[in-house]
Amino acid sequence: EDYQTEAGEGMVVLDAVHAIQAEQAPDLACRWNCKAGKCGSCSAEINGHPKLMCMTRLNTLDLTEPVIVEPMRAFPPIKDLVTDVSWNFEVKKGIRKFRPRAPDAADGTWRMSQRDADRVQEFRKCIECFLCQDVCHVLRDHEDNKEAFAGPRFFLRYAELDMHPLDTSDRRDRAQDAAGLGMCNITKCCTEVCPEHIKITDNAIIPLKERVVDRFYDPIAKLFGFSKKR
Ligand code: SF4
Ligand code: F3S
Ligand code: FES
């Protein structure tokens, strides 16, 4: 549908959608919660680019042309701008949970280096907007791949847990087999769209791929049959 609305000072795309809802189309469906780039629910495609509607200012767009706002293409549409992203939550449930080693301090707590904490902290910034999932060609262009490919958001989760200094589980077999890490050909489109500026490819996916190689193809580890984690 085509709508026209006033573009006021400082407005973002979500404001324009709300104005259209208020004045012209009360049943226009869109999902949002925080309007501050933190809940991850207002994801859409704006002029073909996966973006948060609440963080895309109208003055960054060419308003001499119509602004095209569409639902994320990688997920089934429910209504208007709302898509069914529940597949992502199912994928997440299949990842082995955090399992910390025994406390190492007398007071029953743990010690970890600041460097290790910083490394996983970047991954904790994810707001689960699923824009990276939407843009990744493995999911975007091939609906069937959802069976075999978890997508960048969950490679990030695998990396977050696998690099956690207190965690004792080994998820590298699952990352490679069930999650399809090998299908990622490092196009880096996921990193480009992440509103939290997480370096998904360089800091999570590539190190995870290296860890998988260490686990399965390290000849010394293979010879003695050992693995760092269980
Ligand atoms: Fe969104 Fe970035 Fe998290 Fe992907 S990694 S879901 S783009 S915040
Ligand atoms: Fe997809 Fe990101 Fe890999 S866009 S192909 S997961 S680098
Ligand atoms: Fe929360 Fe946009 S409304 S991220």
Nearest ligand, CA 196: 1
**Probe target for ligand 3 pocket from 12, 15, 33, 82, with the most ligand atoms within 8 Å of CB:** 33
* Cα-based angle 59, 131, 10 (whole degrees, multiple of 5): 20
Closest to 74 in 3D by CA, of 137, 13, 30, 126: 137
Kindly report whether the global pTM for this prediction surpasses the value 0.85: yes
How far is it, in rounded angstroms, from Cα 126 to Cα 32? 17
Contact 95, 170 (CB under 8 A): no
Q: What is the DSSP letter of 204?
A: I
pLDDT in tens, 21-74: 999 999 999 999 999 999 999 999 999 999 999 999 999 999 999 999 999 999
Burial of 52 (0-12, 13-18, 19+ CB in 10 A): buried
Q: What is the mean pLDDT of residues 181-186?
A: 96
Structure tokens at 102: 């025994």
Task: State residue 173's pLDDT score.
Answer: 87
Task: State residue 78's pLDDT score.
Answer: 98
Tokens 């199912």, residue?
90
Ligand 2 centre and the CA of 32: distance in Å?
26
- Does residue 131 carry a pLDDT above 50? yes
How many residues comprise the chain? 230
Q: Which amino acid is at 17?
A: V
Q: What is the mean pLDDT of residues 165-192?
A: 93
What is the 3-state composition of the chain as percent helix, strand, coil, each rounded to the nearest 5?
Answer: 40, 10, 50
**Probe target for ligand 2 pocket from 49, 133, 136, with the most ligand atoms within 8 Å of CB:** 136
- Does residue 139 carry a pLDDT above 70? yes
Structure tokens at 83: 């898509």
Task: State residue 229's pLDDT score.
Answer: 53
How far is it, in rounded angstroms, from Cα 55 to Cα 53? 6
pLDDT in tens, 2-26: 999 999 999 999 999 999 999 999 9
Question: How many Cβ atoms are within 10 Å of 92's Cβ, its own excluded?
Answer: 13
Q: What is the DSSP letter of 49?
A: E
Q: Name 217's Cβ contacts closer than 8 Å, sequence gap at least 6.
A: none
Contact 70, 45 (CB under 8 A): yes
Q: Name 197's Cβ contacts closer than 8 Å, sequence gap at least 6.
A: none
- Does residue 220 carry a pLDDT above 90? no
Q: What is the mean pLDDT of residues 112-121?
A: 91
Q: What are phi and psi of 71, to 5 degrees?
A: -70, 160
Q: How confident is the model at residue 214 (pLDDT cuts 50, 70, 90)?
A: confident
How far is it, in rounded angstroms, from Cα 14 to Cα 35? 8
- Does residue 230 carry a pLDDT above 90? no
Which protein residue's CA is at the shortest distance from atom 4 of ligand 3?
37
pLDDT in tens, 73-99: 999 999 999 999 999 999 999 999 999
